[in-house]
Amino acid sequence: MKKIAFFDTKPYDLSFFEKFGKGYKIKYFDNKLNADTAALAKGYDGVIAFVNDDISAAAVDKLYEGGVRVIALRSAGYNNVDFRAAYEKISVVRVPAYSPYAVAEHAAALLLTLNRKIHKAYNRTRDFDFRLSGLVGFDLRGKTIGVIGTGKIGRCFVDICKGFSMKVLAYDPYPAKDMDVEYTDLDTLLSESHIISLHCPLTESTRHMINADTIKTMRTGALVINTSRGQLIDSEQLLAALKSGKLGGAGLDVYEEESEFFFEDFSQTIVKDDILSLLVSLPNVILTSHQGFLTGEALENIAKTTIENLNEFFSDKKLTNEICYQCKTGDIGPNCEKRKATGRCF
């Protein structure tokens, strides 16, 4: 029976992986995977990692030296992996889709809460304060929402927005040909949208795509929603725009330095990230701790796909969800002749 080291374990992971991972001997570690903790996987055949694990070149080397030959990410994102370092050493597989509805619906929840001040009303009524002052929102109907990224999650979010009778503008370098939406350039989307929602991957071209310059082109009072990756937004510039009134609010499920804080309890600690502390304190910011994926359906799909990825690897089958530096996004790249022939990058 193959041995698997499972890192950054949370209670909601256990029941699903215990259900679907019975064919493996899985050791669950609370620790995040990084260059220091990689030694815990010595003697294991593979590891299961999460989006905030730091799988650097140093971590890859330690895993490889310890006998690990596959990294199974239980996430869609993989910007935390140095897969150039992993090439020809350790295969890297991921879960490309688990429930686009879960993340899209969470983005809608952030928008609704931010707009209608649900969080403030909840806190007031628990103290039997039933005033309505300060709780004025706006109708979503007829407003323009700009959706950046029209992959599976973006498409689901567009459908939700259409249900609210909103005008939807979309931007994607690779527009979907079968999608009934008005595509436009990024500048037009930013300048015309009352709300901007991010649904794109983190790449060198999208890192800090929301910055001082792009914020200047936005409508005064616009709302920004981000359920994708924290580094899509320059947090310092976002904070400045919120404080100045240029932006009307932000609904964030991610933060660019979240790996230091998210998924853990810091309620009894002085958080030394001033930008995060200020964002949380602002009345026009809703921040959740990367919980957009957190539905039972999504957790089940994550566990099933992760185990299926391991089954393919250990059975010497084609790796459906493999990524490598030649393929970039898991698709067969022009230089990946090996994968074309064998179904694996090496």
* CATH number of the domain within which 64 lies: 3.40.50.720
Mean pLDDT across 25-43: 97
Domain count, the chain: 2
- Neighbour-count burial of 94, counting CB atoms closer than 10 A to its CB (0-12 exposed, 13-18 middle, 19+ buried): buried
- How is residue 60 written in tokens? 């890859």
Whether residue 319 sits in one domain with residue 277: no
76 and 162 fall within a common domain: no
Judge if 181 and 227 occupy the same domain.
yes
- Final residue belonging to a domain, choices 261, 287, 313: 287
pLDDT band at 334 (very low <50, low <70, confident <90, very high): low
In this prediction, residue 77 has a pLDDT band, given cuts at 50, 70 and 90, of confident
Confidence of residue 342 (pLDDT cuts 50, 70, 90): confident
pLDDT score at 235: 98
pLDDT bracket for residue 84 (50, 70, 90) = confident
Taking only the tens place, the pLDDT of each residue in 92-143 is 999 988 999 999 999 999 999 999 999 999 999 999 999 999 999 999 999 9
Among candidate residues 11, 10, 113, 100, the one with its CA nearest the CA of residue 52: 10
- Please give the sequence-ordered ranges of beta strands (E in DSSP) within the chain, or none if there are none: 3-6, 25-28, 46-49, 70-73, 91-93, 144-148, 167-171, 182-183, 195-198, 222-226, 247-252, 285-287, 322-323
Mean pLDDT of the residues in the chain: 94
Query: 226 and 275: one domain?
Result: yes
Using alpha carbons, list the distances in angstroms from residue 4 to 35, 69, 70: 18, 10, 9
The proportion of the chain whose per-residue pLDDT surpasses 90, expressed as a percent, equals 87
Using CA atoms, how far apart are residues 186 and 205, in angstroms rounded to an integer? 13
Statement to judge: residues 71 and 104 lie in one domain: no
The catalytically annotated residue of 74, 94, 106, 229 is 229
Q: Both 123 and 64 in a single domain?
A: no
- The strand pair at 195-198 and 222-226 is best described as parallel
**pLDDT for residue 332 is more than 70:** no
Decide if 76 contacts 97 (C-beta within 8 A). yes
User: What pLDDT shows up at residue 333?
Assistant: 54
Residue 229 among the catalytic residues? yes
Rg of the chain over Cα atoms, rounded to whole angstroms, equals 21
Using the predicted structure, report yes or no on whether residue 331 has a pLDDT greater than 70: no
Of 287, 306, 326, which marks where a domain is finished? 287
pLDDT at residue number 236: 98
Does residue 328 carry a pLDDT above 90?
no
Same domain, 272 and 304: no
Q: What are phi and psi of 344, to 5 degrees?
A: -135, 155
- pLDDT confidence of residue 346: 84
Catalytic-residue membership of 290: yes
Taking the C-alpha atoms of residue 218 and residue 232, their distance in angstroms, rounded to an integer, is: 16
In this structure, are 121 and 178 located in the same domain? yes
What are the φ and ψ backbone dihedral angles of 194, each rounded to 5 degrees? -80, -30
Q: Do 114 and 237 fall into the same domain?
A: yes
Are 134 and 151 members of one domain? yes
Tell if the pTM clears 0.85, that is, is over it.
Answer: yes
Give the residue carrying structure tokens 């994102």: 77
Given a cut of 80, whether residue 341 has pLDDT beyond it is: no
Q: How far apart are the first and last CA of the chain?
A: 24
Neighbour count for residue 22 (Cβ, 10 Å) = 11
Return the residue matching tokens 């403030």. Answer: 120
Whether residues 336 and 206 share a domain: the answer is: no
Q: Is 207 a catalytic residue?
A: no
In this prediction, residues 175-185 reach a mean pLDDT of 94
> Per the residue annotation, which of 106, 290, 312, 339 is the catalytic one?
290
**For residue range 213-230, what is the model confidence (pLDDT) as tens digits?**
999 999 999 999 999 999
Asked if residue 65 and residue 196 are part of one domain, the reply reads: no
pLDDT of residue 260: 87
Alpha helices, DSSP H only, in 66-134? 83-86, 100-116, 118-126
**pLDDT value at position 335?**
58
The domain of 17 spans 3-98+296-342
Which residues does residue 48 pair with via DSSP β-bridges, in sequence order?
Answer: 6, 72
Mean pLDDT over residues 236-264, rounded? 95
